[in-house]
Amino acid sequence: MKHSLPFHPQRGMKWLVVFLGLLLCNTIIQGKSKAPTGVRNLAEFTVSGRVTDAETQEVLIGSTVLIKGTSQGVTTDINGNYSIAVPDQNAILVFEFVGYDKQEVLVGNQTKIDITLKSSALELSQVVVVGYGSTNKKDMTGSAKSIKNDDFNRGIINSPEQLLQGKVAGVNVTSATGEPGGRQSITIRGPGGVRTGSTPLFVLDGLALDNSGTGGNTNPLTFLNPQDIESIDVLKDASATAIYGSRGANGVVLITTKKGKSGFSGMTYTGSLGISGMANPLDLFTADEYRQEVAKVGGVLEDLGEDTDWQKEISRTAITRNHNLSLSGGANKLTYYGSFGLQQQEGILKGNDLNLYTGRLNISQKFLDDRLQVDVNLNATSTLNERPPIGGMIGSALSANPTYPAYDAATGLPYRYAAGTNPLITLGLEKDITTVNRVIGSITPSLTLAKGLVYKLNFGIDNATSTRDLQSLANAVPQQDGRLETITTLNRNRLIENYITYTFDNDVHGLTALAGHSYQKIFLQGRNSSINKFPISPIEPIYNPGLGQELTLANNRPGGYALINELQSFFGRVNYQFHDKYLLTATVRADGSSKFGENNKYGIFPSVSAGWRISEESFMKGGIFSDLKLRAGWGQTGNQEIPSKITQPLFTSTVSGTTSYPLADTGPFPAGTTFTRLANPDIQWEVSNQIDIGLDFALFNGALSGTIDYFNKVSNNILLEVIPADPVQPASSIWTNVENMEITNQGVELELNYRKRFANGFKFEVGGNVTFIDNIVENSPYTVIPSGSAQGSGLTSATINGYVNGQPIGTFFLREFTGFDDKGLSTYRDTDGDGVVSDKDRISAGSALPNRMYNFNTVFTFKGFDLRANFNGVAGNMVYDNTANTNFYKLRLSKGINTTREAILFANESVNNAAPVSTRYLKDGAFLRLNNLALNYTFNTEALGINKYVKGLNLSVTGQNLWLSTKYDGYDPEVNNDRSISGISSYGIDYLSYPRAKSVIFGLNVTF
């Protein structure tokens, strides 16, 4: 396998060994070096006190207390108390807390110092993590949003995307399914190119993750314990994401995990018990209704006298148990955070269980008079996901005769009937089990070379292995042969980065310059094997594959694949400030990808942005604005999402009448070698140009704050698979850049937040965001590039939506249903007037992507009580109900198959009418949801007299998905089944989707 980006990661391993050796030696030295008993600085004494809010007098937990000019410090405990040893009376203590103004106090002869901090404009002091560093919100020139763990969504959370839902303007998080651990779809300011999909780049503690799946149908981000996350930062515009080059085309999500704090030591237990049920079952006919409606349409009724709710039979009240134990703390030189997590989640469908085991260790240690700091992060996760045959089980439950019994009264086993399939039998025979083990580790030493000059090395490995077993048990009635298919995958991601940061700051100028190099290598491998004809036996095939009796290449040919993708990058960034009110940021990154040919391997992606803090001008002093900043930026990002190795030639050797030629009078013909793909060295990077103009504001000392952004993103040089123009080209399709094709996303984002505190301790906060977004596809070489297809009897592979010229991404391209003729058969509009209704008459019937997204939240706090509510909604989007298209029409009801009332909606419809793909089943997908409602109570452990042992105690109850307003009559309008075509993402198709749950969760949090 050819490696076109020469690099030697072994050199990085040498650095890793050196720094680990330093870490070990320092630990040993510290363990052996103890100060002689009785020796101490006679001038040293202890200062203690409490830090509180100046307005409400509430304690500020986790405030930092530092001795000025040193790295010595502590943090306040759960009661706001601190205690610190100071060297002498001349020491100055610095008190800081996020969202509050800093205070400095000369110690003098004081031994008790109580401090009250005044609230500042919270948005201004907020720390935002950006690529290869961090900054304050007030100094940002790009569009970004930081969400801290206190503001995360609550409830049963499987992946970080769920924590963000509704929290950031321009970010749309869609659950593809209600299944535990199911995949989430997340878009930042709309999807980009045809092949880029919508998934942003996720960066975990500096390690850029690969978005490839880790096996099975589990979300690859499920490995991360939400309890370990400190903050999530979303970079939205190109000026913020360009530092990540090609990988930032869809935005960047930076996840920072928790770290220990000096001067603090604690252990926290967090546990919860969740109870879940099906939120919105489909309104199928009951047994009595079924008897009446079948008779009305002239169908043959087979009535066994029962009244079975099949949706209830395949579902259950599910229980979720969550246990997390964390330990954190540290001294002057060493801080640590460790956690252990266990989540056992039952799905609301029977036979569905997700078990997640996580462990994390984050260590930071300082050496060489604090000039060297080494950060080590280690995360290990084991996921066990057991799934029933979801689609088949739901499909059988929706169509099963409700007069049939679920169980045989004589045997207690699932009832067997000739017509149709009892979904409970399917449940017992089919099983899908995936085990994923994932370990992510990184070491990041940073060395201060001189004042303001820091060198940092970042070395990380992400290694995921999975085994998926698809098992079918042998059975007599209904008859089926036993089968076992096993799929193994390996995903290994290695990253090594070296970069230098220089910082200079005085009263007039502020400068930060960054330059670095990055190399990332991703190895993907998969294998599959199978065996058939297992006997009926109490031993499941998964435990003894050797019982299978058929192992032929015709039915059980093993398969596999292996890919290596490499990315080498050089990057730089300069941030400049003048008088803390004129801001400038310039970034450039050069990416080289092994996916491209020799002629265009590297792409260069620049960006520039500027900001003007108008509120710092003299003419604005004394006004209502505590902050007013205008910013604007432009930048480019790239896209490399094409199949690996498609730029290289491909050969095949076969023996056939057209490829072989005899080279001897006797003997077999030699194999002939021919091209199946020609070299393609000229294919280039797809490029996105984006501008952003924004206004950040805060009024009344930060009580009212907000942001307005206008963005325009144009992707061109689109990477696309096309039919070759060259008639002698051996491949049926080739990849190329379509130069004139453009995909544009533009829109406006608005965020507002208002907070108020009262002297009696009552606080409230109301916030929200709204996004208006439009996208359009222009100059495509095709009438439609299919991206979503139908499924079901008679519908399979029929195109539902795609990329249509002059229309938004995800546009539904369908025949327009106009009613019925005098025979009761469906009629469709003849758009071209040729007298024949065909695929040429399809119309653009709306998009699966919303053009309006809105979210709002409230927080009410009084004494120890805390009530939070989060709503989110979308509008302007459509959903194609493939489930109704397949199951709910009159012809099926006449055959004795159960349906909803949608099947009898039209009295003049014939029972012989078919239901092809059309706008008949295209429905409004708008909704408003109460996503989260949480009530917490924090006990005063000091008043209870247990503060010596228990520093914090909190009880909570959370409701998840408690209320939904929508016109959509499927399980849920927030749906996105994967019906992609040729790797092009599909949107807005609902086919036998896993129902969404409604949950109530009881929680306990104790800090010792």
Same domain? For 568 and 639 the reply is: yes
- Burial of 123 per CB tally in 10 Å (0-12, 13-18, 19+): buried
pLDDT tens sequence across 877-919: 999 999 999 999 999 999 999 999 999 999 999 999 999 999 9
Q: What percent of the chain has pLDDT over 70?
A: 94
The answer to whether residue 233 is domain-embedded is yes
Name the token pair of 242. 């360009």
Name the token pair of 32. 């052996």
Q: Which of 30-39, 228-237, 319-328 has the lowest mean pLDDT?
A: 30-39
Same domain? For 72 and 132 the reply is: no
Q: How far apart are CA 263 and CA 333, in angstroms?
A: 10
In single-letter form, the type of residue at position 82 comes to Y
Same domain? For 87 and 145 the reply is: no
Q: How far apart are CA 561 and CA 564, in angstroms?
A: 11
Q: How far apart are CA 252 and CA 604, in angstroms?
A: 18
Q: What is the DSSP string of 167-187?
A: TSTTEEEEES-SSTT--EEEE
676/153: higher pLDDT:
153
- What is the mean pLDDT of the segment spanning 569-578? 95
pLDDT value at residue 196: 62
Closest CA to 536 of 487, 486, 477: 477
pLDDT value at residue 9: 41
Q: How far apart are CA 250 and CA 235, in angstroms?
A: 10
Q: What is the DSSP string of 722-767?
A: E--S-TT-SSS-EEEEETT-EEEEEEEEEEEEEEEE-TTS-EEEEE
Residues in the chain: 1008
pLDDT value at residue 125: 55
Angle at 233 (CA atoms; ends 232, 238), nearest 5 degrees: 150
Distant-in-sequence, close-in-space partners of 728: CB < 8 Å, separation ≥ 6: none
pLDDT value at residue 515: 96
CA dist 151 to 166, 187, 720, Å? 11, 20, 41
Which pLDDT band, with edges at 50, 70 and 90, does 982 fall under?
confident
Half-sphere exposure of residue 369: CA atoms within 13 angstroms, side-chain side: 3
- Burial of 288 per CB tally in 10 Å (0-12, 13-18, 19+): exposed
Report phi then psi at 227, rounded to 5.
-65, -20
Same domain? For 997 and 976 the reply is: yes
Is the separation of the CB atoms in 201 and 192 below 8 Å?
no
Angle at 489 (CA atoms; ends 486, 493), nearest 5 degrees: 170
Three-class DSSP category at 696: strand
Closest CA to 101 of 559, 626, 550, 474: 626
pLDDT tens sequence across 16-58: 434 444 443 443 334 333 334 333 445 788 999 999 887 667 7
Count of domains for the chain: 3
Angle at 848 (CA atoms; ends 846, 851), nearest 5 degrees: 80
- What is the mean pLDDT of the segment spanning 448-473? 95
The answer to whether residue 428 is domain-embedded is yes
User: In the predicted model, what is the mean pLDDT of the chain?
Assistant: 88
pLDDT tens sequence across 664-719: 777 778 888 877 788 888 888 889 999 999 999 999 888 899 999 999 999 998 88
Same domain? For 268 and 253 the reply is: no
Q: What percent of the chain has pLDDT over 90?
A: 57
Is the separation of the CB atoms in 128 and 146 below 8 Å?
yes
Last residue of a domain, one of 83, 117, 151: 117
C-alpha of 229 from chain center: 14
- What is the mean pLDDT of the segment spanning 227-247? 90
Question: What is the β-pairing status of strands 989-990 and 878-881?
Answer: parallel
Of the spans 93-97, 389-393, 437-441, which averages the highest pLDDT?
437-441
Q: How far apart are CA 260 and CA 192, in angstroms?
A: 39
Please say if the pLDDT value at position 263 is more than 60.
Answer: yes
Range of the domain at 558: 264-649+677-1007
Helix, strand and coil in the chain, % to nearest 5: 15, 50, 40
In single-letter form, the type of residue at position 427 comes to L
3-state secondary structure 953-999: EEEEEEEEEEEEEECCCCCCCCCCCCCCECCECCCCEECCCCCCEEE
The answer to whether residue 404 is domain-embedded is yes
pLDDT value at residue 190: 87
pLDDT value at residue 197: 63
Distant-in-sequence, close-in-space partners of 188: CB < 8 Å, separation ≥ 6: 170, 171, 198, 200, 234, 236, 250, 251
CA dist 379 to 35, 159, 223, 358, 441, Å? 35, 15, 9, 7, 6
Residue ranges in 388-512 assigned as alpha helix (H): 390-399, 423-429
Q: How far apart are CA 241 and CA 688, in angstroms?
A: 12
Q: Read off the CATH number of the domain in which 232 is found.
A: 2.170.130.10
Q: How far apart are CA 110 and CA 604, in angstroms?
A: 59
Name the token pair of 392. 């088949």
CA dist 850 to 119, 191, 748, 883, Å? 38, 12, 14, 21
Residue 235, beta-bridge partner list: 144, 252
pLDDT tens sequence across 599-624: 889 999 999 999 999 998 888 888 88
Question: What is the β-pairing status of strands 922-924 and 997-1007?
Answer: unpaired
The answer to whether residue 474 is domain-embedded is yes
Same domain? For 253 and 269 the reply is: no
Q: How far apart are CA 420 and CA 399, in angstroms?
A: 8
Q: How far apart are CA 577 and CA 772, in angstroms?
A: 32
The answer to whether residue 793 is domain-embedded is yes
pLDDT tens sequence across 920-933: 999 999 999 999 99
Same domain? For 452 and 540 the reply is: yes
Same domain? For 975 and 856 the reply is: yes
Same domain? For 193 and 298 the reply is: no
pTM of the predicted protein model? 0.86
Name the token pair of 36. 């002689």
Closest CA to 956 of 1004, 890, 888, 897: 1004
DSSP 59: B
Q: Give the number of other CB atoms < 10 A from CB of residue 662.
A: 10
- What is the mean pLDDT of the segment spanning 140-160? 88
Same domain? For 197 and 311 the reply is: no
pLDDT tens sequence across 500-538: 999 999 989 999 999 999 999 999 999 999 999 999 999
Q: How far apart are CA 715 and CA 470, in angstroms?
A: 40
Q: How far apart are CA 649 and CA 968, in angstroms?
A: 49
> 978's torsion region: left (phi>0), alpha (psi -120 to 50) or beta?
beta
- What is the mean pLDDT of the segment spanning 85-92? 89
Residue 521, beta-bridge partner list: 494, 566
- What is the mean pLDDT of the segment spanning 268-280? 96
Is the separation of the CB atoms in 863 and 783 below 8 Å?
no
- What is the mean pLDDT of the segment spanning 368-389? 94
Residue 385, beta-bridge partner list: 354, 434
DSSP 1: -
Residue 226, beta-bridge partner list: none
Which pLDDT band, with edges at 50, 70 and 90, does 729 fall under?
confident
Question: What is the β-pairing status of strands 201-204 and 252-257?
Answer: parallel
* Element of type H or E holding 93: strand 92-96
38/637: higher pLDDT:
637
Last residue of a domain, one of 95, 117, 139: 117
Please say if the pLDDT value at position 763 is more than 60.
Answer: yes
- What is the mean pLDDT of the segment spanning 815-824? 94
pLDDT tens sequence across 408-423: 999 999 998 877 789 9
Last residue of a domain, one of 257, 281, 310: 257
Q: Read off the CATH number of the domain in which 506 is found.
A: 2.40.170.20
Which pLDDT band, with edges at 50, 70 and 90, does 128 fall under?
confident
- What is the mean pLDDT of the segment spanning 98-107? 83
Which pLDDT band, with edges at 50, 70 and 90, does 286 fall under?
very high
Q: How far apart are CA 900 and CA 681, in angstroms?
A: 55
Which pLDDT band, with edges at 50, 70 and 90, does 331 fall under?
confident
CA dist 943 to 938, 939, 940, Å? 12, 8, 5
- What is the mean pLDDT of the segment spanning 279-293? 96
Three-class DSSP category at 87: coil
The answer to whether residue 50 is domain-embedded is yes
Name the token pair of 623. 């006004």
Q: How far apart are CA 329 and CA 336, in angstroms?
A: 6
- What is the mean pLDDT of the segment spanning 973-991? 86
3-state secondary structure 428-450: HHEEEEEEEEEEEEEEEEEEEEE
Three-class DSSP category at 424: helix
Tokens 């080498």 -> residue = 568
Q: How far apart are CA 960 and CA 933, in angstroms?
A: 7
pLDDT value at residue 6: 44
Angle at 102 (CA atoms; ends 100, 105), nearest 5 degrees: 135
> 368's torsion region: left (phi>0), alpha (psi -120 to 50) or beta?
left
The answer to whether residue 23 is domain-embedded is no
Alpha-carbon Rg of the chain, whole angstroms? Answer: 31
Which pLDDT band, with edges at 50, 70 and 90, does 120 fall under?
low
Same domain? For 551 and 627 the reply is: yes
Strands (DSSP E) along 334-429, which ranges? 334-346, 353-367, 372-387
The answer to whether residue 12 is domain-embedded is no
Same domain? For 189 and 298 the reply is: no
